[in-house]
Chains A and B, each alone.
Chain A
Amino acid sequence: MAEKVTKRYKPRPDPVVIYKKWCKACGICVELCPKKVFDTDRDGYPVVARGLDCTQCSICWIHCPDFAITSKEI
């Protein structure tokens, strides 16, 4: 049953996009996100893990010192 649901489910695009080429893996976005949207990969770079929780509060891209985060919706 669960399998059928996942098959029908169309994944939404990520609410925020991380431009990995400019990212320095400082971890500010991961820590400051109030909804804990990001997880870190093994090199410390942020990855969007819980995209559905994102509320587009803009804290991550306002506090990104390297301008590496952009939002698709805003």
Chain B
Amino acid sequence: MQKSDVTHQYLRHTMEFPNVWCPGCGIGIVLGAFIRAVDRLHISKDDLALVSGIGCTARIPAYVDFNTLHTTHGRPIAFATGVKLANPKLKVVVISGDGDILAIGGNHFIHACRRNIDITVVVVNNYIYGMTGGQYSPTTPMGKRASTAPYLTVEPPFDTCNLAISSGATFVARSTVYHATQLSSLIEKALVKKGFSVVEAMSNCHTQYGRLNREGTAVRMIQAFKNVAVPVSTAAKLSPEKLEGKIVIGVLHDIERPEYIEHYQKIIDRLQLPKMADKEEKE
């Protein structure tokens, strides 16, 4: 069993603690689950690059001692693609919020899914833009209140996992902060998987979303995930009407597809080999 202080070995102790998130925010739980997954795989701190955009969740790389990159709003996947192409040996992980990856970075997300580049994306979905003041995001459920939707939202939300599956991601999973152990093992599977893998971590924003929709304290919001979550095996037996408002957790999609870096390397090899052969002949 993992030691309880394993997270402390990966934290940047030069940073000011306690961290910036509101008391009870699930992002800290996601960070803990991520660090435990990395520790179980024995990945060295130098072999992992953590990329994030802008938002509450995007504060994560500041606190962990990996190769970290804090990029512009919505572009973490674009930056991560560059990092991965420049150094394919690195394990590249994008960890960012729903507003960052699905709203402003939605284009990068679907095209990275289509390319199937070997990046792991952890989307922390808390239904709202937390840092900027509670504006509704593409994942805010219909009929909920947000600071920019005082008369309830009228837009149907994105389903992150279905979007990733239909765009061509090879590994798609979902879990909640209440199921932190499962979340950690899903992130571990996603890190091992060769290809574009997406893990959606459902989190709580009690400061903005919970306050506006009267969902109670952080503890009540986290405990609510217990009643809403349905495992994949059970969800297969349920009718779509019964699944309404539920969160299906577990591995939703796991296939094999040709990976982008390998194809790219093949082209490099094909173009470089004749030149190399010429040089050797001259020598």
* CB of B18 within 8 Å of the partner chain: yes
Main SS class of interface, A: loop
CB distance from A61 to the nearest CB of B (A): 5
Q: Can you list, as one digit per residue, whether each of B169-188 has a CB less than 8 Å from chain A (1) or not (0)?
A: 00000000110110010000
Interchain CB contact (< 8 A) of B24 among A21, A62, A65: A65
Partner of B29, one of A24, A65, A71: A65
Query: How close is A27's CB to chain B, nearest CB, in angstroms?
Result: 5
A22-B18, A67-B11, A68-B18 known; A74+B4 contact, CB < 8 A:
yes
Q: Does B8 contact A (CB under 8 A)?
A: yes
Chain A min CB distance to B10 (Å): 10
Known contacts: A63-B180, A65-B28. The answer to whether A26 contacts B218 by CB under 8 A is yes
Q: Which residues of A contact B180 (CB under 8 A)?
A: 62-63
Task: Evaluate contact between B219 and A66: CB separation under 8 angstroms.
Answer: no
Of B19, B21, B217, the contact of A27 (CB 8 Å cutoff): B217
Known: A61-B4, A62-B180. A26 touches B24 (CB 8 A): yes
**A32 and B181 alpha carbons, distance in the complex (Å):** 14
B1 at the A interface (CB under 8 A): yes
Q: Which residue of A is nearest B7, CB measured?
A: A67
Query: Does A48 belong to the interface (CB within 8 Å)?
Result: no
The winner among A22, A64, A67, A71 for most chain B CB atoms within 10 A is: A67
**Shortest CB–CB separation between residue B216 and chain A, in angstroms?**
11
Report yes or no: B28 in contact with A74, Cβ–Cβ below 8 A.
no
A-B contact pairs, 23 of them (CB 8 A): A16-B4, A21-B18, A24-B23, A26-B218, A27-B218, A31-B223, A32-B223, A58-B1, A58-B4, A62-B29, A62-B32, A62-B180, A63-B177, A64-B28, A65-B21, A65-B25, A65-B26, A65-B27, A66-B19, A67-B11, A68-B18, A70-B8, A74-B4
Interface residues on A, range: 20 to 34
Is residue B275 contacting chain A, with contact meaning CB distance below 8 A?
Answer: no
| A47 lies within 8 A of chain B by Cβ | no
Question: B-contacting residues of A (Cβ < 8 Å)?
Answer: 16, 21-28, 31-32, 58, 61-71, 74
Contacts of B177 in A (CB 8 A): 63
Q: Is B89 an interface residue (CB 8 A)?
A: no
Point out the residues of chain A lying under 8 angstroms from B36, CB to CB. 62
Chain B residues near A63: list those with CB within 8 A: 29, 177-178, 180, 222
Contacts of B181 in A (CB 8 A): 62
Contact B4 A71 (CB under 8 A): yes
A27 and chain B: residue at smallest CB distance: B219
**Bound form: Cα–Cα A25–B23 in Å:** 7
In the complex, what residues of B have CB within 8 A of residue A27's CB? 24, 217-219
Is there an interface contact between B4 and A26, defined as CB atoms closer than 8 Å?
no
In the complex, B5 has a CB within 8 A of chain A:
yes
Given contacts A24-B23, A61-B4, contact A66 B217 (CB under 8 A): no
Complex Cα–Cα for A67 and B4 (A) = 9
Find A23's partner among B7, B18, B27, B217 (CB 8 Å cutoff).
Answer: B18
Contact string against A for B residues 150-190, beta-carbon threshold 8 Å, 1 for contact and 0 otherwise:
00000000000000000000000000011011001000000
Provide the residues of chain B in CB contact with A67, threshold 8 Å.
7-8, 11, 28, 32
